[in-house]
């Protein structure tokens, strides 16, 4: 029986990956540091008894070395994810732990008989993604993001290269004016987002940079030492077990906690940001496919839901799920580091037989059902908002 190590296995994506591995007959070991900001109550009850659980830190040689012994497959999902401006911690936890994993593996191949490593990457590697300028495209029509997803529009490969741009993060002075859309660097026109391919690389945050470093380490060291690797660029993952304590947990957490406490959901920017939400169980299926299909060796894959949804639509779905009469509020706030539109091209992964199977509506319904079981949530919401304001992450438009 093959032994799998899941780092961060007590976490959101990790725990669902553990469940699927057990269902498929793998032996599973979990290494998790039970970070207090994510697990303030210690080991969560959803970590099954059928796993070997080790509490430890992936950046510590002794902890990772102990967890890696006799392991055949590694899912390196442990990561530091937050909006806090402690930039060095992203590099230390995410990139250095990946390097340490290889360092241990090549030091003693008998003790560490690795066959493959799956690394958690992120769509943050792509930053704002690619955009096309209609004004610069001339007579060429640029399909909408919905047309790109369905294949109903003109192929984006026919767009003149001079009209395609890879913008950096939006300038803070633009955001302070409440101008949210990405503008053409040549003519200033509002641009159209393009599906983000695996070749789109433009990280704009310390987190995104750390994940790109992980991808480079996986490719270069994996090839050099004959250890197949796969890097999975997750989009906006949602579903049960997404920590309600960590501000990074995302829009479903914020909206649900607000509604549970009879407060309207607060929408950042104007609410028309397009996102690619995917259920965590679909992500777990992609992770397991990555170790079982040799065609994934030494590749990077986008893992997304295949549907463009606005933040306002998510708010509406959440309000309906809670049967609430509240309305979303748009106070003119924005969060530094957020991308405007992020929709993944998942055709590369889908070519291997994977498809996202859980629609956004079901995704939201599952999450609301799960979070209803928890009480005393107002403090969690207020604390996260307070910290983001104090650290300059959450800002307001100049009036």
pLDDT tens by residue, 297-312: 999 999 999 999 999 9
Statement: residue 376 has pLDDT above 60: no
DSSP secondary structure code for residue 271 in this structure: S
pLDDT, mean of residues 366-386:
75
Q: Which whole-number Å values give the CA distances from 385 to 249, 334, 380, in the listed order?
A: 13, 12, 9
Q: What percent of the chain has pLDDT over 70?
A: 96
Distance between CA atoms of 370 and 44, rounded to whole angstroms?
Answer: 14
With DSSP H G I counted as helix, E B as strand and the rest as coil, what are the percentages for the chain, rounded to 5?
40, 15, 45
Q: What is the mean pLDDT of the chain?
A: 92
What is the mean predicted confidence (pLDDT) over 21-27?
97
Cβ-based neighbour number of residue 92 at 10 Å: 14
Q: What is the pLDDT of residue 322?
A: 94
248 or 128, greater pLDDT: 128
Q: Is 369 helix (H, G, I), strand (E, B) or coil?
A: helix
What backbone phi and psi angles, to 5 degrees, belong to 337? 100, -15
The answer to whether 378 touches 73, Cβ cutoff 8 Å, is no
- State how far the Cα of 302 lies from the Cα of 284, in Å rounded to an integer: 13
Contact 273, 340 (CB under 8 A): yes
List pLDDT tens digits, range 74-113.
Answer: 999 999 887 677 899 999 999 999 999 999 999 999 999 9
CA distance 195 to 122: 15
Across the strands, what pairs with 164? 132
CB 235 within 8 A of CB 303: yes
Determine how β-strand 27-32 pairs with β-strand 3-7: parallel
Q: Which CATH number fits domain 3-126+201-396: 1.10.3080.10, 3.40.50.720, 3.40.50.1820, 3.30.360.10?
A: 3.40.50.720
Q: Is the C-alpha dihedral spanning 148, 149, 153, 156 positive or negative?
A: positive
Q: Tell me which long-range contacts 311-315 makes (C-beta under 8 A, separation of at least 24).
A: 311/251, 311/267, 311/268, 311/269, 311/271, 311/272, 311/273, 311/275, 312/267, 312/271, 312/272, 314/251, 314/252, 314/255, 314/275, 314/277, 314/360, 314/364, 315/255, 315/265, 315/267, 315/271
Query: How sure is the predictor about 54, in pLDDT bands with cuts at 50, 70 and 90?
Result: very high
Kindly list the domain boundaries of the chain, sorted by start residue: 3-126+201-396, 131-193
In 3D space, the residue among 283, 297, 326 whose CA is nearest the CA of residue 226 turns out to be: 297
3-state secondary structure of 82: coil
**Residue 243 — pLDDT band, cuts 50, 70, 90?**
confident
How many residues are recorded in the chain? Answer: 399
**Whole-angstrom Cα distance, residue 26 to residue 71?**
11
pLDDT, residue 379, reads 65
| Residue indicated by tokens 């690389």 | 201
224 phi/psi in degrees, rounded to 5: -65, -40
pLDDT at residue 43 in the model: 87
Read off the pLDDT band of 204 (50, 70, 90): very high
Rounded to two decimals, what is the model's pTM? 0.94
Which residues lie closer than 8 Å to 390 by C-beta, 6 or more apart?
none
Rounded to whole angstroms, how far apart are CA atoms 58 and 64? 5
Give the residue among 314, 194, 303 at the shortest CA–CA distance from 253.
314
Instruction: Determine the pLDDT at residue 375.
Output: 57
Exposed, middle or buried, 144 (CB in 10 Å: 0-12/13-18/19+)? middle
Alpha helices in the chain, H assignment, sequence order: 12-23, 61-68, 87-90, 97-107, 145-150, 172-176, 206-224, 251-260, 280-292, 311-321, 347-350, 360-371, 378-390
Q: What is the pLDDT of residues 1-15, one digit of tens each?
A: 899 999 999 999 999
């Amino acid at each position: 029986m093959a032994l799998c190590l899941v780092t961060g296995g007590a976490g959101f994506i990790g725990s669902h990956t553990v469940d699927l591995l057990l269902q498929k007959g793998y032996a599973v070991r979990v290494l998790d540091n039970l970070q207090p900001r994510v697990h303030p109550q210690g080991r969560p009850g959803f970590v099954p008894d059928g796993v070997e659980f080790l509490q430890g830190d992936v950046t510590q040689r002794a902890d990772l070395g102990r967890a890696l012994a006799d392991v055949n497959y590694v899912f390196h999902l442990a990561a530091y994810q937050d909006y806090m401006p402690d930039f060095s911690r992203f590099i230390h936890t995410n990139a250095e732990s990946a390097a340490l994993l290889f360092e241990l593996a090549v030091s003693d191949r008998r003790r560490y008989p690795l066959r493959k490593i799956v690394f958690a990457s992120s769509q943050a590697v792509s930053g704002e993604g690619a955009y096309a300028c209609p004004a610069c495209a001339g007579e060429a029509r640029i399909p909408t993001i919905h047309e790109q997803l369905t294949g109903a529009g003109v192929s984006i490969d026919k767009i003149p290269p001079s009209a395609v741009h890879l913008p950096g993060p939006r300038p803070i002075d633009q955001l302070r004016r409440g101008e949210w859309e990405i503008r053409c660097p040549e003519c200033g026109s509002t641009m159209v987002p393009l599906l983000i391919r695996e070749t789109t690389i433009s990280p704009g945050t310390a987190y995104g940079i750390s994940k790109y470093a992980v991808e480079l380490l996986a490719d270069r060291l994996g090839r050099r030492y004959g250890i197949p690797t796969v890097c999975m660029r997750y989009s906006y993952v949602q579903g049960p077990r997404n920590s309600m304590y960590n501000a990074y947990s995302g829009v479903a957490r914020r909206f649900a906690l607000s509604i549970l406490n009879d407060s309207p959901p607060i929408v950042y920017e104007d609410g028309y940001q397009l996102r690619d939400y995917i259920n965590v169980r679909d992500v777990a299926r992609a992770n397991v496919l990555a170790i079982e299909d040799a065609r994934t060796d030494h590749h990077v894959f986008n893992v997304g839901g295949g549907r463009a949804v606005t933040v306002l639509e998510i708010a509406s779905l959440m309000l309906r799920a809670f049967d609430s009469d509240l309305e979303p509020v748009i106070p003119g706030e924005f969060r530094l580091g957020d991308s405007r539109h992020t929709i993944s091209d998942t055709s590369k992964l889908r070519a291997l037989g994977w498809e996202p199977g859980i629609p956004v509506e079901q995704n939201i319904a599952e999450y609301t059902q799960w979070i209803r079981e928890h009480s005393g949530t107002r403090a969690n919401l207020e604390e996260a908002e307070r910290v983001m304001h104090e650290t300059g992450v959450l800002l307001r438009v100049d009036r």
